[in-house]
Amino acid sequence: MSVAAVVTYRPGSEGTSYLPVATEDAFRRTWLPLAEAAGLEIVPRFADGLVVDRAQDAVLGAELARLRADLAGRPDLEHVRVRAGLLAALVQEVAARRNDVVELYIG
């Protein structure tokens, strides 16, 4: 299993996009402890799956920015920082296009 972001767009738009985030094991061993240590609230919920609503877009973007900042200078965790950056970019794109988005699911 894996943790991924799936964006479903309204009919006549792009369809669906998929962004792999981490394997389930890597998420539980690496992402989850980092997110909990940073006091993040939304990122840990990826473990069980989460539909991100419009009201959570900015908070999730800030959490991912915080996670990336915490990982700066940690070459052993650069892969997590990169994936968090890709996810942050996707969340930002979804936030800008919410009228075209049916659902953003991360889990």
β-strands 50-52, 16-23 pairing? unpaired
pLDDT at 15 over 90: no
Domains: count for the chain: 1
Q: Kindly indicate the confidence band of residue 16, based on its pLDDT and cuts at 50, 70 and 90.
A: confident
The mean per-residue pLDDT over the stretch 56-80 comes to 96
Contact assessment for residue 26 and residue 79, using Cβ atoms and an 8 Å cutoff: no
- Cα separation of 69 and 1, whole Å? 27
Model confidence over 38-63: pLDDT tens digits?
Answer: 999 999 999 999 999 999 999 999 99
Quote the domain boundaries for residue 16.
2-106
